[in-house]
Chains A and B, each alone.
Chain A
Amino acid sequence: MLIFTLRRLNLFIFTFIVLTALSFSLSYLFPGDTLINLTGQVNASPKQRLFLIEEYQYNSNVFKQYWAYLGHLADGDLGISISSHTPISYEIMNLLPATIELSVVALFIAMIIGIPIGFIAAINHEKLTDKAILSISMLGYSIPIFWLGLLAILVFSIQLGWLPSAGRISLVYEIEHITGIQFIDILISDNPYKWQAFQDATLHIIMPACVVAIAPMTIFIRLARTSMIEVLDSSYITAAKTKGLTFWQIIYRHAIRNSLVNVIRHVGLQFANLVTLAMVTEVIFSWPGIGRWLIESIFQRDYTAIQGGLLALSSFIFIVHMLTDFIYAALNPLARDRKHGA
């Protein structure tokens, strides 16, 4: 496990260097003044500018500049937003939890629904149920998410009026921002209306989370199905059968656990996909997350925000990957001994 950890940390460091180098080079690649792109200080006075040139080693060679940039990153300084003049790190800390919340709930929905359906398909392998599930999941995978989101708003918000169409919670409720995860903030707040707020927040998350969940869900269906079919084909299942266990006993005690291990390995990979989907969904449902903010920054040509946002988002996805790898390794001893990273 130690070697595995070291190997992963190694990978982490290299990936981080590549990511920061890319993010740093963006300030050169974007149009306009490199120093302004990097710091976001549009209206810096000549004196301030001299200070910034010193701070970011702007007159030295590129490597020194990159080193200075890394120094600022280490201090949590990503510059200030060109359009709103607030520190990027502050905005990210405010917005990223909303995206995490949406993604986690969506992931949860995708797994809770997708995996059992996949298992059902595998158990009924090559039968009508299996084929029906496969074709529906194919359909779900091919639907463009923005179209699905708009359609969901049209049906559930406008026609039926069941679910709200925008935001994380009705503005009526005043919830203090502590952790950034809305549900936790509501529960720890001392607002007399917190149960109403909790209910309202639940209603708000249902639709966007389901929309985000659709595509990963179909993938989970197929993963779970393949994994289950493999397990059911293996010799220990045959052995269990010969022992005289009933079919459902085999499924519950042996097959589900063993096929889940394979599915978990893909959760990390799916998370990257999920965050991308969440970004589009955030725009449609006015979800105040980092994706919507990033897309707005692109419209406003807020280069500092684009740079910082991309770096934060990609680091976040990368960290999630690492974590799921660790969990997988902890669950499955075989994976630890593999010589090369998955």
Chain B
Amino acid sequence: MSLHTKNKTLFTLFFILFFMGCNNDNVNLLSKKSIIYCSEGSPESFNPQMVTSGTTTDATSNQLYNSLITYKNDSPEISPSLAKSWHITKDGKKVTFYLRKDVTFHTTEYFTPTRNLNAKDVIFSFKRILDPEHEYHNVSGGEYPFFKSIEFNTLVKDIEEINEYTVRFTLNRADSSFLANLATDFAIILSAEYAQYLSKYGSQYQIDIMPIGTGPFKYKEYRAGSFIRYLAHENYWQKKINIEQLIFDITPSNTGRLTKLLAKECDVVAYPIAHQKIADRPDLLLNEITSFNIGYLGFNTTIPPFNNKLVRKAVAYAINKDVIIDTIYFSKAEIANTIIPPSSWAYNKDIPQQEFSITKAIAALTEAGYPDGFTIDLWAMPIQRPYNPDALTMAKLIAVDLEKIGITVNIFHKYEWTTFLQLVEKGNHQAVLLGWTADNPDPDNFFTPLLSCNSAKHGQTGTFWCNEKFDKLIKKSLQTTDIKKRKTYYADALKIIADEMPLIPLAHSKRFQARDKNITGKLLKAFGGINFTEINKN
């Protein structure tokens, strides 16, 4: 063997050994200690108080922060988080939270906290939202869309520090959804010490860009449109975090996410396509959950012909919901019987699925005095939402269904979204395809915004339906914290809706997620953002 060939052989051997050698110590592989989540888009901010988009709450709320109280595993009961307990006065107007004493904030390259969480942090986090004069109120825009939508500033009169670990909220009125709202992904607790530190350097804007929280992961690096890198929070108060790194690989393309999943470049992917392909692979898992939302067909109950209950019922008989689920949602949705999704505790399973029967529809229509049918304007929303991904096609399907009972449908599908909503509020339509996504798991979040007399006044839902009996029921339910009582009130309320039919509930969309079999632990929730705290990699 000449020297030359010997060298070559040695080189090849070295090369092979080099690549094999690295594979041997599997235990030490960094990839085994990291989880890559392929997300669908970039977050708008690292503070979920400021935004309501699902992408942002997924990326921030449960990873970086904690709230005072929380919903554990989709259960209807509120459970403790940063607050170990709370107390509500009899009149429901004073709520006191007792904080845990062992909660540490993130220690990062840009900030080292000197103290644990205390009442000052809670007060800072909520004062920022409530007090327009607050130093941080207008930082990063000063919009708090979620808190605005629930009229948080008119509900909360004051928030005060009782002692270092006790905070009291004083409310203007009793509201049993108050706790539910504090348990959402938006009501997170920021660090007052960090804010103080930033003010000292005049860089207040950093608070929402380089976040400091108490959550299971801490911020390391973010490259817009590319990735977010989080590291485990070593001293997380709740439990030891099993993974070292959590990476959000921002992949807006649907096929891109699918490829990365199949090629094992992502451990978990958001909103996967090609469900069958994923289900066929033995090494992958497809998870699904029915979201807290509702897509519906709303009737303008103030003008003929839909001011007549029988006509509304006739339409309900005539619509083939199965076809809609297949065509519009590609079966990624559940048929809605009522406005409440089945996973909510207020769901009433005694209300049957709407029957599909052309003969019954014609009978009802004849009884109502329209044997020859009529013509209506059906407005289809101009944008895509999870609860209605394609309103125009849905309107066309409904038009075909209604033609069979003699109703001619003119479809309106123009204007931009805000103009569309303004015109709906004015009542220019006869029927409209709209929907609603709940902000919190309290069932009131479906009843009050959709069908209360108050909402009828605003007209955003397009029904203008106001039923005093119904209104009384949902108000009564808000005044008590006894879930059993609330359940009966809501069951009655749902019956009224089923009988009066101010709107036809069509579908609750489902949220999907796909993951590698090695990833264990629950990630998806029916409501709110994903949570990586319980996730393990084997």
What is the 8 Å Cβ interface bit string for chain B, positions 207-222, against chain A (1 contact, 0 not)? 0000000000000110
Min CB distance B187 to A, Å, is 31
**A153 adjacent to B29 (CB under 8 Å):** no
Within 8 A of A (CB), among B225-261: 226-227, 229, 245, 247, 249, 251, 256, 259-260
The segment from B59-67, B80-88, B262-270, B437-445 that touches chain A is B262-270
> Taking A171-B249, A172-B247, A288-B226 as contacts, is the C-beta distance between A164 and B265 under 8 angstroms?
yes
Tell me the bound Cα distance from A166 to B245 in angstroms. 20
Q: List residues 149-176 of chain A with CB under 8 A from any CB of chain B.
A: 153, 157-158, 161, 163-167, 170-174
**How many residues on the A side are at the interface (Cβ–Cβ under 8 A)?**
22
Contact B22 A158 (CB under 8 A): no
Question: A166 contacts B30, CB within 8 Å?
Answer: no
Find the B residue at minimum CB distance from A288.
Answer: B226
Cross-chain contact A172 with B22 (CB below 8 angstroms) = no
Identify which of A49-57, A193-201, A238-246, A262-270 touches chain B: A193-201
Q: Given the known A-B contacts A170-B31, A171-B247, A199-B22, are A157 and B256 also in contact in the complex, defined by CB atoms under 8 Å?
A: no
Query: With an 8 A cutoff between CB atoms, is A129 at the interface?
Result: no
Q: How far is the CB of B16 from chain A (nearest CB, A)?
A: 13
User: For the complex, is A273 an interface residue (Cβ under 8 Å from B)?
Assistant: no
Are the CB atoms of B226 and A164 closer together than 8 Å? no
The answer on a CB contact under 8 Å between B36 and A172 is yes
Q: Is the CB of A153 within 8 A of B30?
A: no
When the two chains form the complex, which single residue of B30, B36, B263 contacts A158, counting CB atoms closer than 8 Å? B263
Whether the Cβ atoms of B265 and A193 lie closer than 8 Å is no
For A204, the closest partner residue in chain B by CB is: B265
A165–B263 touching, CB < 8 Å: yes
Contact B245 A172 (CB under 8 A): yes
B110 in the interface (beta carbon within 8 A):
no
Main secondary structure of the interface of A (DSSP, over half): loop
CB of B181 within 8 A of chain A? no
Alpha-carbon distance A20/B264, docked complex (angstroms): 45
Q: Which of B15-32 contact A (CB under 8 A)?
A: 19, 22, 29-31
Q: Is B338 on the interface with A (CB-CB < 8 A)?
A: no
CB distance from B537 to the nearest CB of A (A): 11
Does any Cβ of B come within 8 Å of A286's Cβ?
yes
> Is the CB–CB distance between B263 and A196 below 8 Å?
no
Q: Are A199 and B19 in contact (CB under 8 A)?
A: yes
Chain B hits for A172, CB < 8 A: 30-31, 34, 36, 245, 247
Please state if A165 and B30 are interface contacts (CB–CB under 8 Å): no
| B351 interfacial by beta-carbon distance below 8 Å | no
Q: Do A196 and B36 contact each other (CB < 8 Å), given the known contacts A161-B264, A171-B249?
A: no
What residue of chain A has the Cβ atom nearest to residue B283's Cβ? A161
Kindly state whether residue B224 has any CB partner on chain A within 8 Å.
yes
Please name all residues of chain A whose beta carbon is closer than 8 Å to the beta carbon of B224 when the two chains form the complex.
84
CB-nearest residue of chain A to B34: A172
Q: A173 vs B265: C-alpha distance in the bound complex, in angstroms?
A: 13
Cα A164 to Cα B249 in complex, Å, equals 14
Residues of chain B lying within 8 A (CB to CB) of residue A174: 220-221, 229
Chain B residues with CB under 8 A of A199: 19, 22
Closest chain B CB from A298 CB (angstroms): 16
Could you tell me the distance in whole angstroms from the C-beta of B189 to the nearest C-beta in chain A? 28
B19, B30, B221, B247: the one within 8 Å of A193 (CB): B30
Q: Complex formed: what's the CA distance from A196 to B260 in Å? A: 20
Contact pick for A286, options B29, B229, B245, B256, CB 8 Å: B256
Contact residues in B for A161 (Cβ distance below 8 Å): 262-264
With CB as the reference atom, state the residue of chain A lying closest to B224.
Answer: A84
Is the CB–CB distance between A171 and B263 below 8 Å?
no
Q: Would you call B249 and A157 a contact (CB within 8 A)? A: no
Residues of B within 8 A of A288 (CB): 226
Query: Residue of B at shortest CB range from A286?
Result: B256
- Contact between chains at B22 and A196 (CB < 8 Å): yes
- With a CB–CB cut-off of 8 A, which chain B residues contact A167? 265
How far does the alpha carbon of A199 sit from the alpha carbon of B29 in the complex, in Å? 12
Whether A166 contacts B264 in the complex (CB less than 8 A), given A172-B31, A172-B245, A199-B22, comes out as no
CA distance A173 to B227 in the complex (A): 12
Which chain A residue has the least Cβ–Cβ distance from B264? A161
- In the complex, A195→B224 CA distance in Å? 27
Complex CA distance for A163 and B264, rounded to whole angstroms: 9
A195-B22, A199-B19, A199-B22 known; A173+B30 contact, CB < 8 A: yes
Once bound together, how far apart are the Cα atoms of A174 and B245, in whole Å? Answer: 11
- What is the CA–CA distance of A195 and B28 in the complex, to the nearest angstrom? 12
Contact, CB under 8 Å: B247 / A165: no
Decide: A196 and B259 in contact? CB cutoff 8 A: no
Q: How far is the CA of A165 from the CA of B260 in the complex (A)?
A: 7
The residue on A at minimum CB distance from B220 is: A174
Contacts of A157 in B (CB 8 A): 259, 262-263
In the bound complex, what is the Cα–Cα distance between A163 and B229 (angstroms)? 23
CB pair B259 A171 closer than 8 Å: no
Q: Which of A153, A173, A200 contacts B259 (CB 8 A)?
A: A153
A residues apposed to B, CB below 8 Å = 84, 153, 157-158, 161, 163-167, 170-174, 193, 195-196, 199-200, 286, 288
Q: List 23 A-B pairs, Cβ < 8 Å.
A: A153-B263, A157-B262, A158-B263, A161-B262, A164-B265, A165-B259, A165-B260, A165-B263, A165-B265, A166-B259, A170-B31, A170-B36, A171-B227, A171-B247, A171-B249, A172-B36, A172-B247, A174-B221, A193-B30, A196-B22, A196-B29, A199-B22, A200-B31
- Beyond A164-B265, A172-B30, list 20 extra A-B contacts (CB 8 Å): A84-B224, A153-B259, A158-B259, A158-B262, A161-B262, A163-B263, A164-B263, A165-B260, A166-B251, A166-B263, A170-B36, A171-B36, A171-B247, A171-B249, A172-B36, A172-B245, A174-B221, A196-B22, A199-B22, A286-B256
Query: What are the 3 closest A-B residue pairs judged by CB atoms, nearest first?
Result: A157-B263, A172-B34, A165-B263
